[in-house]
Structure 1
Amino acid sequence: MQFDWPILSVLIWLPILGGVLMLLVGDRGVALGRWVALLTTAATFGISTLLWTNFDTTTAQMQFVEEREWITQFNSWYSLGVDGIAMPLILLT
């Protein structure tokens, strides 16, 4: 199953966004910081679970592939994908 939204990019950037929010919260609100951490972790886990439940174990091809042109002058591409080895590692994070 392919998603209409960049699920792998969200999995990469969501914890980074949570970390930035934690920096912004700082020492002002310990309870708020805990909620930000909990919601970021829960969202990351939920998206990882969604990825795992839609992963096709019968194929050896890359799945959930995202390819975007990045730096055109250097012909660089932003490419992400999941294979059978990467899937358990995604769940571990």
Structure 2
Amino acid sequence: MQFDWPILSVLIWLPIAGGLATLALGERAIGLGRWVTLVTSAVTFGLSTLLWTNFDTSTAQMQFVEELTWIPAFNALYALGVDGFSMPLIVLTTFITPLVVIAAWNVIEKKPAQYFA
């Protein structure tokens, strides 16, 4: 199954946006920054499970392919895709991230915004 929206780009850019939001909150709102990080990582894990449940294991082809011309003069593309090797690694990474955030919730005292970003 292919999605009508760029799920791989969302999986990449959502954590970056969440990290930037956490950094922007900084030391002024440490608690809110932690929640932003936790929610962002949980949503990212949810998206990766959606990706995993729609992954076709019967083919070796790249799936969920996204291609966008980036720099036409150099024929450079923004291209993403998932194969059978990277799929479990994506799920593993997005599964571990919320666990790390929860484990570090009250442990990190110095510069928590930088840590959680």
Report the TM-score, using the length of structure 1 for normalisation.
Answer: 0.96
Residue in structure 2 matched with residue 23 of structure 1 by the alignment: 23
Distance (Å, rounded) in 2 between the aligned partners of 1:30 and 1:13: 22
Q: Which runs of 4+ in 1 moved over 4 A?
A: none
Aligned-pair identity in percent equals 72
The residue number in structure 2 matching 1:54 is 54
Cα displacement (A) at 1:2: 0.6
Higher RCO (C-alpha under 8 Å, 6+ residues apart): 2
Q: CA deviation at 1:70?
A: 0.8
The gaps in structure 2 that reach 5 residues or longer are: 94-117
Task: Give 1:1-93 correspondences, 5 Å limit.
Answer: 1-93=1-93
* 1:5-61: CA deviation from partner (whole Å, max 9, x where unpaired): 100011111111111001111011122111101110111000000000000001111
Give the helix-richer structure, 1 or 2.
2
Secondary structure of 1:29's match?
A: helix
TM-score by length of 2: 0.77
Q: Deviations over 1:55-89 (max 9, x none)?
A: 00011111000011110000111111000001011
> Over aligned residues, Cα RMSD in angstroms?
0.7
State the AA in 1 paired with 2:26. G
Paired residue total: 93
The one-letter code matched in structure 1 to 2:52 is W
1:62 is matched by which residue type in structure 2? M
